[in-house]
Amino acid sequence: MTETLSGGETVVFWVLGPIALAGALGMVFSRNAVHSALWLVNTMLALGVFYVVQSAPFLGAAQIIVYTGAIMILFLFVLMLVGRDSSDSVVETLRGQRVAAAVLGLGFAALVGAGIARATQDLVVSGLGDDGGNANVTAIAELLYTRYLLAFEATGALLIVAAVGALVYTQIERAPGSRRGQKELARARFLTTDRPQTLPGPGVYARANSVAAPALLPDGTTTEESFATGIEPQEVDQMPRPTGREQLGSPDGALGTLDPAPSDRGDGR
């Protein structure tokens, strides 16, 4: 490592490095699957910022948009369907497998780490320098669409075929005309019945809210359409319906007396 890091880059690295590592460890050690996914999101975000700091802004944005934004959301989507209380079982079915896995995993990590360390030991790091920024975006585009065009197209075709194949396998075939869709049903209802909408509900009164209480029309009569099926409609005894000053009286007239106000008398009907 001949080139020293700039101040800001160092700060970002030492802040985000532990966060990324903590995310990775948290992902492995979380019991809850959704928590694991969240730790992984944490690591991926940190990686995205690392890319941006290392003058590869497009790669960073793609990492955040594609991996963190789309793929991990799909993971979460599936995990949420599993249910909240389904944590990992801690029962060991194969005896000693956990110790063996830990030893082998550590050994593998040591092998790969040592290999990479030796390979990059005397490498001169030049960095992207001024090729970061806008030039970086155009350079990626140029490589993708000239030198690696075939690989790019093949990958795209592969993904499309996989997605379409998955769709085809989940598709349920129905003989045409065997079931009427929502559109046909709605059309039939509107064209063939006198009343495409629902029937009016029962009346709701201050003294009754039973389904047996019929609704009122604006002129005060009950409407037969609101009668509930199979129940005798019950007549609701209503408060007198004050219509004007004559029935209502003067509201202040009853003040200070024991006489009820005219409309309280209940003989209005």
The binding site for another protein (CB under 8 A) comprises 32, 34-35, 38, 41, 45, 48, 57-58, 60-62, 64-65, 68-70, 73-74, 76-77, 80-81, 84, 133-134, 136-137, 184-185, 187-189, 191-193, 195, 198-199, 207-208, 210-212, 228-231, 234-237, 251, 254-255, 258, 260-261, 263-267, 269
- Measured from the CB atom, the residue of 13 and 51 that comes closer to another protein is 51
- Measured from the CB atom, the residue of 93 and 198 that comes closer to another protein is 198
Secondary structure of 119-175 in the HEC alphabet?
HCCCCCCCCCHHHCCHHHHHHHHHHHHCCCHHHHHHHHHHHHHHHHHHHHHHCCCCC
Smallest gap, in angstroms, from Cβ of residue 165 to another protein? 17
How is residue 226 annotated by DSSP? G
Among candidates 191, 55, 208, 35, which has minimal Cα distance to 133? Answer: 55
129 to 9, 41, 100, 122, 124: CA distances (angstroms): 13, 29, 45, 20, 14
- Measured from the CB atom, the residue of 121 and 257 that comes closer to another protein is 257
Smallest gap, in angstroms, from Cβ of residue 198 to another protein? 7
Among candidates 30, 63, 27, which has minimal Cα distance to 45? Answer: 63
Distance in angstroms (rounded) separating the CA atoms of residues 138 and 262: 87
Smallest gap, in angstroms, from Cβ of residue 248 to another protein? 10
- Measured from the CB atom, the residue of 24 and 254 that comes closer to another protein is 254
Smallest gap, in angstroms, from Cβ of residue 118 to another protein? 35
Smallest gap, in angstroms, from Cβ of residue 195 to another protein? 8
